[in-house]
Structure formats: C-alpha cells, structure tokens
Amino acid sequence: MKRRSAFSFPAAVPHSPVSRYVLPFALRIALCLAVLGAALLAGCNITPGGGTDVGNPDVTSRVSGSLLHANGTPAQWIKIQLRPKTFLSNPDSLPALTGNAIQDEITDTQGFFTFDSVPKGDYRIQAFDTASHGATMDFSADGHTLRMTLATATLDTTGAITGKVAYHGPAKAPFPKVYVSVFGTERWTIANDSGDYTLSDLPPGKYSLRLTTPANTALSATVPDISLTAGGNASAGTVDLGP
C-alpha cells in the first residue's frame, strides 16, 4: 500500500473565466484609487492647526486661545473682542463692519475662547476685567489655515496714552471737535478745547491712533507705533491738524 504524505497540496485549479476578468478589473480599480488619492494630496495644503484646505483663497479660520489672571488662574467670564487692525470706532466713523470680522465672545470656566469663521486679514483681540486689567493679542488669518491656536495671554495692569492736537485755523476760530480713535479697538475719545486728550485703561501693547474732525472739515492724521507698558503712561506727542 502506498503511504500518504502528512502534507498534501490541492491540485492546481485551472483559470476560470471569472478569475480571468475579475482580478485585472480589481487591479484597475485599485490603481485608479491610488492615482486619485495622490492627486488630492498634491492639491491639499497641510496646515499647522491640523486642518487642510484645497487652495480656496476664501477659507476662514477657527481661532482659539486662552486667558489667565496675573496669578496664573483661568480668567473666567471675561469679554473678548475681535476687531480688524484697521477698525476704527467713533460717532463720525464709516459704517461699522459686519460679518465675522467683528466678534465678541466670553471666556469659559477654564479661560478658553473661540472665534469661528474668521476671514483672511490682520486682527487684534482685546480683553478686559473689572479691575483695570487687560490683554492684547495680535494675529493674522492667512486664508488657508482652518484652525489656529493663539499663545496664552495674561491680564496685566492697564495704562494710558496722552497727546495734544494743535490747530492753526483762522483767527478767533473755535477749536474744532477732534475724535481720537485707537486702531483695532472700540476705544476713542474727544480732545478738549485746548487740544489735550487721554485714552485710559489700555492693556499693554503697541497702538496706532487716528485723529479726525467731523466730515465737514475733513482734517485727519495718524500717529503710529505708540508702545505702552503695563501700568504705564505713553505720549503720542503733538499732532498738527492745521488747514
């Protein structure tokens, strides 16, 4: 009797019509999917915040951050204001911007905040508590990054900017009304009859001012790059608004 081997191999199965066509078809599908995937990856941009876009220049960003008190505890229930760095606020300014370029939020119990759908542009975020403390955060939304996380900010003692407006109008002409506005914020004031003004309760940071008269005289000037330290006083100098 012939002894049977412990291992046996099945006899070769001849190629059937089904296997002859199904295998090449599956390979073609896999190849097409691989090519399509490579094309999609080539057209995508991987962003630092973990999001991607497909080259759309109008992509908006989800901007998140956190806020602390000086002692390191979370700043809870603090109002956070997002404004474009070109934003100006005074009774005689142009109509206010609308949409997601201007947003107000409140921090949560851990001091976190989020602004959704922020368009491409340069922005300033400011926060204030009720004890003369504030914080300023500047950032740019590049139109490609879907999610941005800002560095943690700390509330610090606010300071003030003072300045003077010089007006050389006709003899005995009354001193005009002059609005003094802070770019990128809701802060503004009016110079007094001697041309002096003070902008108080500003968080530490670098500021630019816009001085304007009502539209009927249309006199204006800009004072850029005024550095303000925590609890300090900075001078904007004297600005000539003469005709």
Indicate if 64 and 118 belong to the same structural domain: yes
Q: Are 213 and 179 in contact (CB under 8 A)?
A: yes
Residues 6+ apart with CB under 8 A from 44: 52, 53, 54
Q: Given pLDDT bands bounded at 50, 70 and 90, which one contains residue 98?
A: low
pLDDT digits (tens, 9 = 90+) for 81-94: 999 999 988 766 55
**pTM of the predicted protein model:** 0.72
Q: Highest-confidence range of 75-79, 129-133, 211-215, by mean pLDDT?
A: 75-79
Greater model confidence, 54 or 237? 237
User: What average pLDDT does the chain have?
Assistant: 80
Report yes or no on 36 lying in a domain.
no
Domain count, the chain: 2
Q: What is the pLDDT of residues 178-207, one digit of tens each?
A: 999 999 999 999 999 899 999 999 999 999
The answer to whether position 4 is within a domain reads no
Domain boundary residue, one of 137, 157, 177:
157
Amino acid identity of 175?
F
Question: Does residue 103 sit within a domain?
Answer: yes
CATH of the domain at 74: 2.60.40.1120
Last residue of a domain, one of 87, 122, 157: 157
- By residue range, what is the domain housing residue 188? 159-240
Could you tell me if 89 and 134 lie in one domain?
Answer: yes
Confidence band for 142, pLDDT divided at 50, 70 and 90: very high
